[in-house]
A and B are shown apart, each in its own frame.
Chain A
Amino acid sequence: MEAMMTIQGLTRFFGGLAAVMDLSLEVQSGEILSLIGPNGAGKTTVFNLITGTLLPTRGRVLFQDHEITGSRPHETTVRGIARTFQTTSLFDDETVLDNLIVSHRCRTRMGLWDALLQTGRSREDERRCREKAEEILNFTGLRERASELARNIPQESQKRLAIALALVTEPKLLLLDEPMGGLTEEENIGMMDLIRKVRTRGISILLIEHKMKVVMNISDRIVVLNYGQKIAEGAPQEVGRNAEVIEAYLGAGYAKT
């Protein structure tokens, strides 16, 4: 396997506090890699550093052999890294379909003049956005919700929609920040199915999740962060037995079950 994304020595300070310290990891193409750790371990900060929402103090991010350290968020998305947010982030006052259509905008090129003159390119681009939106609507099972406002659909559908928006940008790597947060056991299973289905499209996944059952079930590999530093890395079983991980995050109760 080859690395889709490589992070080398990534470090970020907030004042004197190291939110992420000398983190190196690789995401292989086609794998589901989970990032776990206690609250405040720096997981979301890692996402923000990858996508360019935050600039790293030190370190590099390479994506498909290109250095993307310090790229702006919209640039990293165009390169093929899409993300979701921990607090489900949507265009609340637009319909589900409209949410999806605009999210494919980054793959189109029409400009102001195309809009004013309704050129062939503007019609073509609009058709492509609509087609892409329809495709992902079916893929994520949101067909029935298409004409509802994003703010009005149930939480589980909103979580799906957040992933759907990311998919519409045609990513190669998908960063998911707690996609199961607040979901029921049953909904967790549906969400895991969706994530696995995403992987079958050839999209690698970097996942932040607190629900250990889900993480153990779905991940190919796990990276454990504590106080911004990597304390363990490996297959779910290895990480689950790691004494340091149990100490820092899982708790003594986990080892017994």
Chain B
Amino acid sequence: MNQRAGKSIILAILVIAVVIPLVVTNKYYMNILIMSGIWSIVALSLNLILGYTGQVNLAHGAFFGIGAYASALMMLKLNMNFWLALPLAAAIAGFFGFLIGLPALRTRGSYFAIGTLCFNIIVTLIVDRWEGLTEGARGLMGIPGPSAIPLPWGGEIAFKTMAAQYYLVIGFLFLTIFVLRRIMQSLVGRTFRAIRGNEELAEALGIHAMRTKLLSFTVSCFFAGVGGALYASYIGFLSPEITDYHVSFDALIYVMIGGVGTIVGPIIGTLLFVTIPETLHVAAEFRLLLYGLILIVMIIYLPRGIVGWVKDLRGRKTKQEVSWKQ
């Protein structure tokens, strides 16, 4: 029943997502939706290692940034096409995830969190100082958008309008959801959950914990890279801040608020946190303060996020119904 409920929610979101540009034409709102789409990909990818595999990765901003910079640099310096640059950038982010995972995933719990946080700070420093490559604090400008896709029967799909950009991002969001669902519904996903549940037991049952965590982390970083590449081409400008640990914490908050270990949770969390501050125009300094407060309150009262809370409510309801029948 739960899986069917999940499926119908995702279907509903899909339909709404496809119809939205027909209703919303306001550029300002379209921008918020596109940003929500990009950050949803990042939050979902973080959720794979954080929510499903139970490893608190605080370097997601770095992998997002690596994807963004890799894609932008390949397009700017090598004149590479967006459609080639995006998968390559994602692969580069995934490869960095693999390399960092090799030592970092040997540690557990808070040590892994601290290790990844350190890595994030190093990445931001390198991006900031390696001016020959990244232009440092000046930032990379004029990053091209996706080139038009020619259609076999003439004409082309261009990505000039907001609606087209939106569909591009939503397309990649659905690809991400599709891949994550396939993984989590398979035996591979079961081993991820086993690591989260009890790593020592998983090993005693013949599961190669290191290999499993490394796989989850690599895939997670790959999709962070996808988000980064989309961001680079949509905004057209990158500066070192986009790689820094604030990005990691933002993504962490989206996942935690929405609901760890679910597909819908990170999307809901992202929608809330990208939309509300934008519309309320909360001052940036207060934003982080507020985030911290919300996070503390959530961890104490709703540790499984909004989706977990709704599930609990529904569970209680069905239990009541059962006792009524008895």
* B207-A125 in contact (CB<8A): no
Bound CA–CA A114/B190 (angstroms)? 14
* B188-A111 in contact (CB<8A): yes
Bound CA–CA A154/B202 (angstroms)? 22
B27 within 8 A of partner (CB): no
Residue ID in chain A nearest B183 by CB atoms: A115
A211 within 8 A of partner (CB): no
Q: Mark B197-225, 1 if CB is under 8 A from A, else 0.
A: 11011111111110000010001000000
Q: Which listed residue (A72, A78, A89, A168) contacts B198, Cβ 8 A?
A: A89
Residue ID in chain B nearest A128 by CB atoms: B187
* A102-B203 in contact (CB<8A): no
> With A90-B198, A90-B201, A94-B193 as given contacts, are A115 and B187 in contact (CB-CB < 8 Å)?
yes
Question: Taking the nearest CB of chain A, how far is it from the CB of B276, in angstroms?
Answer: 31
Bound CA–CA A166/B202 (angstroms)? 11
* A112-B219 in contact (CB<8A): yes
B118 within 8 A of partner (CB): no
B124 within 8 A of partner (CB): no
Contacts of B202 in A (CB 8 A): 102
> With A110-B187, A112-B215, A126-B187 as given contacts, are A91 and B207 in contact (CB-CB < 8 Å)?
no
A118 within 8 A of partner (CB): yes
* A165-B187 in contact (CB<8A): no
Contacts of A210 in B (CB 8 A): none
> With A111-B188, A122-B186 as given contacts, are A106 and B206 in contact (CB-CB < 8 Å)?
yes
List B residues 175-189 near A (Cβ within 8 Å): 179, 182-183, 186-189
Bound CA–CA A101/B186 (angstroms)? 11
* A106-B207 in contact (CB<8A): yes
A51 within 8 A of partner (CB): yes
B191 within 8 A of partner (CB): yes
The size class of the interface chain B forms with chain A is 20 to 34
List B residues 263-301 near A (Cβ within 8 Å): none
Bound CA–CA A118/B208 (angstroms)? 22
* A89-B200 in contact (CB<8A): yes
Q: Which listed residue (B179, B183, B193, B206) contacts A78, Cβ 8 A?
A: B206
Q: Which listed residue (A73, A101, A116, A168) contacts B190, Cβ 8 A?
A: A101
List A residues 154-187 near B (Cβ within 8 Å): 165-166, 168-169
> With A77-B206, A106-B207, A116-B179 as given contacts, are A91 and B186 in contact (CB-CB < 8 Å)?
no
Bound CA–CA A127/B82 (angstroms)? 41
A39 within 8 A of partner (CB): no
* A102-B198 in contact (CB<8A): no
A193 within 8 A of partner (CB): no
Bound CA–CA A122/B183 (angstroms)? 11
Contacts of A90 in B (CB 8 A): 198, 201
* B190-A85 in contact (CB<8A): no
Bound CA–CA A188/B194 (angstroms)? 29
* A169-B206 in contact (CB<8A): yes
Contacts of A82 in B (CB 8 A): 204-205
Contacts of A98 in B (CB 8 A): 190
Q: Which listed residue (A72, A105, A122) contacts B191, Cβ 8 A?
A: A105
A200 within 8 A of partner (CB): no
A32 within 8 A of partner (CB): no
Q: Which listed residue (A93, A116, A126) contacts B183, Cβ 8 A?
A: A116
> With A74-B203, A89-B200, A94-B197 as given contacts, are A118 and B182 in contact (CB-CB < 8 Å)?
yes
> With A72-B203, A90-B198 as given contacts, are A102 and B186 in contact (CB-CB < 8 Å)?
no
Q: Which listed residue (B187, B198, B208) contacts A125, Cβ 8 A?
A: B187
Bound CA–CA A114/B188 (angstroms)? 9
Contacts of B200 in A (CB 8 A): 85, 89
Question: Taking the nearest CB of chain B, how far is it from the CB of A146, in angstroms?
Answer: 16
Contacts of A112 in B (CB 8 A): 183, 188, 215, 219
* B182-A102 in contact (CB<8A): no
B-side residues, CB < 8 A to A, are 179, 182-183, 186-191, 193-194, 197-198, 200-209, 215, 219
Known: A91-B198, A94-B197. 18 other contacts (CB 8 A): A51-B204, A53-B204, A89-B204, A93-B197, A101-B190, A102-B190, A102-B194, A105-B194, A105-B207, A106-B207, A107-B206, A111-B188, A114-B186, A115-B187, A115-B189, A116-B179, A116-B182, A125-B187
A-side residues, CB < 8 A to B, are 51, 53, 72-74, 77-78, 82-83, 85, 89-94, 98, 101-103, 105-108, 110-112, 114-116, 118, 122, 125-126, 129, 165-166, 168-169
**Interchain residue pairs with CB less than 8 A apart (21):** A51-B204, A77-B204, A89-B200, A89-B201, A89-B204, A91-B193, A92-B197, A102-B194, A102-B202, A102-B205, A103-B205, A105-B194, A105-B206, A106-B206, A110-B187, A112-B183, A112-B215, A112-B219, A115-B189, A116-B179, A129-B187
A-B pairs, top 3 by smallest CB distance, nearest first, are: A106-B206, A77-B206, A115-B186
